[in-house]
Amino acid sequence: GIESRSLDLGYKQGSRLPFFSKDEPSPLGTADFFALNYYTSRKVKDLNGVSKKNELSFVGDQGTEGVVDPSWPICGVHWLAIVPDGLRKLLKYIQDTYTSLPIYITENGFSQMGPVQIEVADCSHFYQDTLQEVGKASVRVSED
């Protein structure tokens, strides 16, 4: 991951991220909840270890490229594909990975450009489809 990418870019000491000392407490397992901002999904294309960016960055470290499936509808802005089942899959992954944490969807939305009256139906379908997918995820619902 980041350590091998750092070495590839000439960081002789390994990872450019700090390590915890023995005296510092480990943050693993200390979260109280999982807050999720979800707007869209991407399919992932492996770049076979070749980064498109030769710089220190989140995108450069990935070694992958995000691809929008051409069958996904786009709303408002070119990068915002409507993928309600992507939210379901992500919620399932979070549940399987962090089983004891409550999940709060803190952001989600639909982008609109143009006359609002034309897109009200699209927006309504977006929220209906999104809520159905959340229901399919069998996520524990909190009353908080």
Give tens-digit pLDDT for 79-126.
899 999 999 999 999 998 887 789 999 999 888 776 665 566 678 888
State the pLDDT at residue 46. Answer: 87
Q: Using a cut of 0.85, tell me whether the model's pTM lies above it.
A: no
Are the C-beta atoms of residues 91 and 128 closer than 8 Å to each other? no
Widest Cα–Cα separation across the chain: 60
Per-residue confidence band for 63, with pLDDT thresholds at 50, 70 and 90: confident
Query: Which residues are catalytically annotated?
Result: 107
State the pLDDT at residue 78. Answer: 87
Instruction: Give the three-state DSSP class for 65.
Output: strand
